[in-house]
Structure 1
Amino acid sequence: MTARGRYIALEGFDGSGKSTQAEMLASHLDAVLAREPGGTPLGEALREVLLHAAPDEAPSARTEALLFCADRAQHIGTVVAPALEAGRDVVTDRSYGSTLAYQGYGRGLPLDELRALIDYACRRPAGASEELPDVVLPDVVVLLDVPLADSDRRVHRLDRVGGEQMSLLEGDSDADPDAEALEGDGPDRLEGEALEFALRVWRSYRELCDAEPDRWVRVDAAGSVDEVAARVIEAVASHPAMAG
């Protein structure tokens, strides 16, 4: 019987380099490369609604959560589960952590309700091998950890930030800068949120990582693309879930 593949997710705040590192890790592992939202015809349609809706048509926080989890259910059923059953590793750019970070910590939806929704979306597809767990969550989640200021520079959102405000972003200060002064246009709707929202999301990733040490691993994402890739590869290779 073919041993099932391993499911690896890359998570992190916008601009942390997830997409590039997911591609590099998938190439290194000869793994199936996936992304959320997207990666299936239905997922790409949902991605367009979620990330590029006009302001007057933007989904509510609850609608966002439902659409992201609808995408995730399709992703698990048509991409992830079949690949794992065939013995292929899967590397995904974002997973359930993004729902908890953005819709939970960021938008204030109840975390227990989101976790129940995630579990339902990630339930093992009907007819899938019992080699797969009842709930198909990533075996390893790599958090690409960068200072928020660096992340935001990468998506060109903080050009107007003064030195005092930038210093708040470069550390772990609990103080919130003036969000109204820091709003800006990003590559998509979710990346264009006010800084207060961004701070909540950024901090939440570290909390999520600390809360699930058996699944999550934090990787310093500062440095060149190749330097970060080497750290990611080492973190994944040494993770207990990859043994055997």
Structure 2
Amino acid sequence: MHTEPGVHSSTGVFVCFEGGEGAGKSTQSSLLRQWLESQGYAVVLTFEPGDTTVGRRVREIVLDPATGALADRTEALLYAADKAEHVETLVLPALARGAVVITDRYVDSTLAYQGAGRGMDLVDDGLERVARWATGDLRPHLTVLLDLEPHHGLGRFETRDRIEGESLEFHLRVRAAFLALAAADPDHYLVLDARLPVDEIATVVREAIAGLLAQAVRT
């Protein structure tokens, strides 16, 4: 999977956690925030979809099982709308202030879930173009991919939302897409086995981000 180079903010540091269901993205995002704040950095911890007023409405639609089936393009456009609002109103202002922005999911999730998962071609169907346009082609300085076989991650949920409830084959395609995105841009990705101990993963993440921290403004 090949994607063209995008825009990296000249202020602040933008870090993204990606991966399949149950991989531990929220846990690692929170641990990274705690560590960064202990080092004196201004941190904004956020997530997609749903961390804006508009996004909360979108999240209800795309994740509630009661929504039922959506046309693939409808689903993709809803996620794109969430991303556009998220970047414009939360991510870009925080980066402009020099903060470290940590997001739990970003564009890669759209490319993996609405792209590979739904069987949409990123180029021919225009999915990547829409997702990049929605975010102004803003790319994370570092994306941490927590890789986990789907049957391990899905087994951690007693109940599942609309996306978690998709077939194992769907989630296998999603995992393969994440790995392909990472392989296409190794300078901006850190791929870790999500089955490793939580503290071990957190340590490796901190080491990886150390080189980016000089760009952040201390509080």
Query: TM-score, structure 2 length as denominator?
Result: 0.84
Q: Are residues 55 and 41 of structure 1, via their aligned partners in 2, closer, same or farther at CA, if it must alter by over 3 Å?
A: closer
Number of equivalences: 199
CA contact 2:107–2:132 (8 Å) conserved in 1: no
Cα displacement string for residues 151-171 of structure 1 (whole angstroms, at most 9, x for unaligned residues) = 222235xxxxxxxxxxxxxxx
User: Does 2:50 match 1:38?
Assistant: yes
The structure number with the bigger radius of gyration is 1
**What is the CA distance between 1:225 and its match in structure 2?**
2.2
Q: 1:120 and 2:154 equivalent?
A: no
Q: Retained in 2: the 8 A contact 1:33–1:92?
A: yes
Aligned to 1:151: 153
Aligned residue runs from structure 1 range 1-244, under 5 A: 4-30=11-37, 31-54=43-66, 56=68, 58-112=69-123, 113-123=126-136, 135-156=137-158, 186-238=159-211, 242=213, 244=215
Q: What is the CA–CA distance in structure 1 between the aligned matches of 2:154 and 2:88, rounded to whole Å? A: 34
Counterpart CA distance in 1 for 2:213 and 2:189 is 13
d(CA) in 2 for partners of 1:76 and 1:233? 24
Give the conservation status (yes or no) of the 8 Å contact 2:65–2:161: no
The separation in 2 between residues aligned to 1:191 and 1:62, in whole angstroms, is 19
Secondary structure in 2 matching 1:191:
coil
Bigger shift: residues 78-87 or 22-31? 22-31
Q: Which amino acid aligns with 2:166?
A: E
Distance in 2 of aligned mates of 1:46 and 1:6: 27
Q: How many Å separate the matches in 1 of 2:100 and 2:200?
A: 23
Structure 2 residues not aligned, in runs of 5+:
1-9, 38-42
Segments of structure 1 that go 5 or more residues without pairing to the other structure are 124-134, 157-185
Q: For structure 1, which segment, 225-234 or 94-103, has the greater mean C-alpha deviation from structure 2 after superposition?
A: 225-234
Q: SS at 1:116's partner residue? A: helix
Residue 15 of structure 1 contacts residue 151 of structure 1 at CA under 8 Å; is this kept in 2?
Answer: yes
Counterpart CA distance in 2 for 1:109 and 1:37 is 20
Paired AA for residue 20 in structure 2 = F
Taking only aligned residues, the RMSD between alpha carbons, in angstroms, comes to: 1.7
TM-score, normalised relative to structure 1: 0.76
Task: Report which structure shows greater RCO (CA 8 Å, sep ≥6).
Answer: 2
1:126 corresponding residue in structure 2: none
Distance 2:135 2:178 in 1: 20
Residue type matched to 2:206 in 1?
Answer: I
CA distance in 2, matches of 1:242, 1:116: 30
